[in-house]
Structure 1
Amino acid sequence: MPAPNEITPAQLLRLIGTPDAPVTVDVCIDPDFAEDPYLIPGSFRHSHDDMESLKQRLAGRSCIVVCQRGLKLSQGLAARLRADGISAEYLSGGMYGWRDLPEAPRIPFDALPPLQDGARLWVTRHRPKIDRIACPWLIRRFVDTDARFLFVAPDQVLAVAEKFDATPFDIEDVHWSHRGETCTFDTMLTEFNLQTQALERLATVVRGADTNRHDLTPEAAGLLAISVGLSRQYRDDLAQLEAGMVLYDALYRWARDGGGETHDWPAGRAQ
């Protein structure tokens, strides 16, 4: 019988990428992690014996604790957090269980930019449209829930990146940018090893809208129209990003669960 504070890898996989996903805390000890240096999407590393700083970082959010096998470290830490009033579960089977789930993506730790005060700082051009909203959505939902984004004048992106130790993206001649006929969203899927069926489907829409290739998929023209509308509606880039998060949450659920659904009127009309 499953424990009341246990979650399976399959259950966690359904939550990742959604706005309701809990924070995932990786407490694998260093030797175990060195043998297999990958993270569950959206998770962060933390020592199991540093309770106070973990509670500060969680800031009251519910979490899932993961160790190598889902035994003493994750079960014990989840129990301690629950004793302190924090909603916490542990992943059954731990990282071994996640690794054995064929469709479960794993992010190479070496692909992650360095942390700045507990989160990752990214910088790009102001007045975003498509890639510069899609990429922050991907990062916050699958890579770093606490990531922060700076929007600055195009000619200042590299200087700001240098001065503030931020990672530049979606500008020319940087690592996180377009490659050939693909866009920055594609690059991030590749580098973060996030090529799931749903994200690849979403990437085709983003690429078509961002590179004016509406022939790739009919949804690309719709994404362009909505993205232009959002950019006209919001003067504040960060406010636009928050609105765009809702848009891409919906697009992700379409790509994951609703791609085959159609709509007509009147309902049930014979074809």
Structure 2
Amino acid sequence: MSTFTTISPDKLARLIGTPNAPTLIDVRTEEDFSADRRLIPGSIKLSHENVQDWGGEFAGRSAIVTCFRGEKLAQGTAAWLRQLGVQAETLEGGFEGWKAANLPLIDTRKLPPRDARGRTIWVTRARPKVDRIACPWLIRRFVDPNAVFLYVAPSEVVAVGEHFGAAPFDIENVFWSHRGELCTFDVMMEEFGLATPPLQRLATLVRGADTARPDLAPEASGLLAASLGLSRMYDDDLAQLEAGMTLYDAFYRWCRDATTETHNWPTNKVKA
């Protein structure tokens, strides 16, 4: 039985960036999207007109559907998705409600062109350590959940980008790279409009680990140690990336929810 449900912008904001976040589907009309080409972080843009064709791809998953104000297009699309076995809700107030809450939005004009399957493609140097794992984590969690990452020989990054429609990152003399004291993660966070307090805190750790500045934050040394350990554990860069996703999930949740928590032992020692 189809059940109409909604989720508030604040509640959705707590889910975005986490590994179990629902699929976010934007079904605004082309006219509405042309007026504001930004997306809620992690969203994919699809048309309500052919939901019967693409909806089955999300069967067994949870999804949040948004349109301009969260009314007929979002509710109708969500109802169709529930018919197709998707746990679909709509965003309360839609895109305009999210915007009114002053929550982050991704400017799609900053994104590289998408391939025939709607994915952004990125390329960087093989054998990643810090930035080349942190940046893919940021992209997959907040920008494009289906993004593809190619790791190649350093000398071939630009040429591979040209021949395979991939955006080069974390190499010299490209847009997505270090700028002054900022590392590539900093640049992506700022360019994509994701400078929330938790991500800014995480960016400080990444910068400290990536640019030999452990003085920036005590945790930077721990991030570097874990990153170097992963690089020794995995010969396959993509396997290392998958393991690194969990590492950055944990650091992000610490940055967001646990920076004031301390730990000592024994915690329940009986006083004499």
**Normalising by structure 2, what TM-score?**
0.95
CA contact (8 A) 2:59 2:86 kept: no
* Corresponding residue for residue 105 of structure 1: 104
**For residues 126 and 63 of structure 2, what CA distance do their matches in structure 1 show?**
33
- Equivalent position amino acid for 2:26 in 1: D
**For residues 98 and 184 of structure 2, what CA distance do their matches in structure 1 show?**
27
- Equivalent position amino acid for 2:114 in 1: L
Quote the sequence identity (%). Answer: 60
- Number of residues of Structure 1 aligned to a counterpart in Structure 2: 267
Q: Deviations over 1:76-104 (max 9, x none)?
A: 110011012111111110011101113x1
After superposition, residues 118-197 of structure 1 pair within 5 angstroms as 118-197=118-197
- Equivalent position amino acid for 1:144 in 2: D
Q: Deviations over 1:235-258 (max 9, x none)?
A: 000000000000000000000000
CA gap of 1:156–1:52, structure 2 versus 1, over 3 A, is farther
1:228 equivalent to 2:223? Answer no
**Normalising by structure 1, what TM-score?**
0.95
- Equivalent position amino acid for 1:150 in 2: L
Q: Deviations over 1:175-223 (max 9, x none)?
A: 1000000000001001100000000000000000000001100000111
- Equivalent position amino acid for 1:54 in 2: W
* Corresponding residue for residue 46 of structure 2: 46
**For residues 37 and 258 of structure 1, what CA distance do their matches in structure 2 show?**
34
* Corresponding residue for residue 35 of structure 1: 35
**For residues 174 and 60 of structure 1, what CA distance do their matches in structure 2 show?**
40
Query: Any stretches of 5+ residues in structure 1 without a counterpart?
Result: none
**For residues 53 and 208 of structure 2, what CA distance do their matches in structure 1 show?**
43
Q: Deviations over 1:123-173 (max 9, x none)?
A: 100000000000000000000111111101100111111111111100000
**For residues 262 and 54 of structure 2, what CA distance do their matches in structure 1 show?**
45
| Higher mean displacement: 47-56 or 143-152 | 47-56
Alpha-carbon distance, 1:55 to partner: 2.2
**For residues 25 and 54 of structure 1, what CA distance do their matches in structure 2 show?**
11
Deviation >4 Å, runs of 4+: none
Query: Any stretches of 5+ residues in structure 2 without a counterpart?
Result: none
**For residues 237 and 101 of structure 1, what CA distance do their matches in structure 2 show?**
39
Provide the secondary structure at the position in 2 that maps to 1:50: helix
**For residues 42 and 107 of structure 1, what CA distance do their matches in structure 2 show?**
8
- Equivalent position amino acid for 2:209 in 1: A
CA gap of 1:221–1:149, structure 2 versus 1, over 3 A, is same
- Equivalent position amino acid for 1:58 in 2: F
CA contact (8 A) 2:4 2:79 kept: no
**For residues 143 and 240 of structure 1, what CA distance do their matches in structure 2 show?**
20
CA contact (8 A) 2:151 2:237 kept: yes
